[in-house]
Copies of this chain bind each other. A is one copy, B any other.
Amino acid sequence: MARAHWGCCPWLVLLCGTSWSPNDPGFFSRLLACAWGHTKPVDLGGQDVRNCSTNPPYLPVTVVNTTMSLTALRQQMQTQNLSAYIIPGTDAHMNEYIGQHDERRAWITGFTGSAGTAVVTMKKAAVWTDSRYWTQAERQMDCNWELHKEVGTTPIVTWLLTEIPAGGRVGFDPFLLSIDTWESYDLALQGSNRQLVSITTNLVDLVWGSERPPVPNQPIYALQEAFTGSTWQEKVSGVRSQMQKHQKVPTAVLLSALEETAWLFNLRASDIPYNPFFYSYTLLTDSSIRLFANKSRFSSETLSYLNSSCTGPMCVQIEDYSQVRDSIQAYSLGDVRIWIGTSYTMYGIYEMIPKEKLVTDTYSPVMMTKAVKNSKEQALLKASHVRDAVAVIRYLVWLEKNVPKGTVDEFSGAEIVDKFRGEEQFSSGPSFETISASGLNAALAHYSPTKELNRKLSSDEMYLLDSGGQYWDGTTDITRTVHWGTPSAFQKEAYTRVLIGNIDLSRLIFPAATSGRMVEAFARRALWDAGLNYGHGTGHGIGNFLCVHEWPVGFQSNNIAMAKGMFTSIEPGYYKDGEFGIRLEDVALVVEAKTKYPGSYLTFEVVSFVPYDRNLIDVSLLSPEHLQYLNRYYQTIREKVGPELQRRQLLEEFEWLQQHTEPLAARAPDTASWASVLVVSTLAILGWSV
């Protein structure tokens, strides 16, 4: 997992909601765990929140005064003859992490939570957000803003209908509403005599003015061939071949997600935190390639790598990022059909293409192709995981020595593991903000320590580390939970049940093209059996130096079916509020399974290579199959990571690895009934008559 939610997309709150009913009492706590945000944790215990009912209102120091900016925004609204203006928290590419210059909702409201929508009318201003952020919003917003403790477009529209007069115009930036979100606003407003008005100039930006942080401008660079699965020319040909085979024979594909353009051209940059992308669109037609980005950011070598000086079908013409709408509009005049993935396309693009010229799928062909790694990409991702295991093992060894000294806290620990990763070959920083959580903090869904707010690591507490790295060859994500002292029986039981869940799903054999949603309960069964569970998803796709949460692979209902060559995390957990948190996360490759009878079956091959904590495993809960699986996995870790540790002269770590991967032996089961049947069985094996 990571602190952020499953997938590079702000629609996650909705996604999570689809699997549970909002009427369900547990809905919000699960939503919380499902759509883990990326903001700083807020101490919910504090009373340091605004009170708008006193005169004058009480405002804590954390509040931002928004009176002037609201006045300025309303002037802009008046110019456009708007009764209301919608300010979503998204950017134009459905990015999981948002650049500072895109934090419009945070800037105008003061509220910095990762999820929430603001709406301003001429008289009122309001924010809608989910339960994770209610306290934070009360600490950050001044009394210009109402807080609505709801999510989705329906409550916003209900409010709008009471706040703005009939005939009123509701403005929005079409690049900040996904097609789906726009449709739900449009549907809800139908017949209400209120009009949705698309305004391409963002009104908040106009008010923000020179204070707005600049758009990133670091170089955009090409990956070395050693780190790519195919050349960009091969990828372009592959997409064009899919266009020709498509029933509707589209003449072009439009790519809106930044990872799509980055993948297609094997280009990277650092515009987005943790994601090596750059602001861009691509219009790939049957006879041309247009890359919309800031041309000045390409070196002459990169321009030449892209054949950008020609105009043929294998030449990448670079057009300015801001030209994408006009360019699509011009292209749409012809006899064309433009193929888009609706999940990652914003209304601002969609509205430019006449309906009859649109070819829509949920995901673009690039998104679908990228999900299945070819053999070189598989080898690259695996190699990055071996080096990543070295960094994590170094950290675990370091913790074993230093935690007893009482000198390690969650934040300094996170710095160490980030440093160890940084020392690995091809490192390009963490793939998300490291979750380093001790004791009760590990039970908080969106916890990461800060320099100021953190907890000391101790041999008396469990410690959860969820972290990952970006490497030129691959992106990693792994979670281990450890205890250096004497865990309670319940901690061991819970840990072992989480481990069984991880094993049961990892070793599952299932038919090709099974959806993850159909099998994810195998990761929960051992917990359910005892009345335990976890409130988040079970895994997500991962990229080759791309997103750590790479859609559309995973175990959610809207993920695509599993196929050979996909990578997904497998990460059951258990969280005891106020006490501890457990999560065991591995990345696994989907591979063909050999079955007794012939058929097209798949299973998982785990490529994360760090042993689990023996101190927390209750062997008596494991079946013979679990033990066999675990010991085989440990053997694989020895074979993959052992030589690497030796080569690097990390002999202490090598010793540690040998100890922690010693085969586990079966112990007596707990329950008498199981034992008695077992005895009968074994006596039968031994040839005794019973």
Chain A: residues with CB nearer than 8 A to chain B? 19-21, 24, 190-191, 355-356, 508-511, 513-515, 517-522, 525, 528-533, 557, 561, 595-599, 601, 623-625, 627-628, 665-669, 673-675, 677-686, 690
Contact = CB atoms under 8 A, between A and B. Distances in A.
Most B CB contacts (10 A, CB to CB) among A514, A529, A533, A599 go to A529
Given A531-B595, A668-B684, A681-B666, A674 B624 contact: yes
B510 A681 contact: no
A497 to B, nearest CB: 10
A528 B513 contact: no
Nearest to A598: B531
A155 to B, nearest CB: 11
A681 B624 contact: yes
Nearest to A512: B24
B597 A531 contact: yes
Contacts of A355: 190-191
Given A21-B561, A532-B599, A679 B677 contact: no
A515 B515 CA distance: 15
Contacts of A668: 681, 684-685
Nearest to A529: B509
11 contacts: A510-B521, A510-B528, A517-B518, A522-B525, A530-B595, A557-B557, A627-B677, A668-B681, A668-B684, A678-B682, A679-B682
A685 B677 contact: no
Given A517-B517, A517-B518, 4 more contacts: A24-B513, A531-B595, A531-B597, A666-B684
B684 A682 contact: no
Contacts of A531: 509, 595-599, 601
A20 B679 contact: no
A687 to B, nearest CB: 9
A496 B668 CA distance: 27
B628 A677 contact: yes
B679 A667 contact: no
Nearest to A531: B595
A597 B532 contact: yes
A684 B667 CA distance: 7
Contacts of A595: 528-531
Nearest to A628: B673
Contacts of A190: 355
Contacts of A20: 513
Contacts of A597: 530-532
A628 B673 CA distance: 8
A396 to B, nearest CB: 28
A669 B680 CA distance: 12
Contact of A681 (B508, B519, B669): B669
Contact of A533 (B511, B677, B681): B511
Contact of A521 (B21, B518, B624, B685): B518
A355 B188 CA distance: 12
Contacts of A513: 20-21, 24
A674 B533 CA distance: 29
A513 B528 CA distance: 13
A520 B532 CA distance: 20
A23 to B, nearest CB: 10
Nearest to A679: B682
A467 to B, nearest CB: 29
A19 B518 CA distance: 10
Nearest to A561: B21
A248 to B, nearest CB: 11
Contacts of A625: 674
Most B CB contacts (10 A, CB to CB) among A356, A561, A666, A681 go to A681
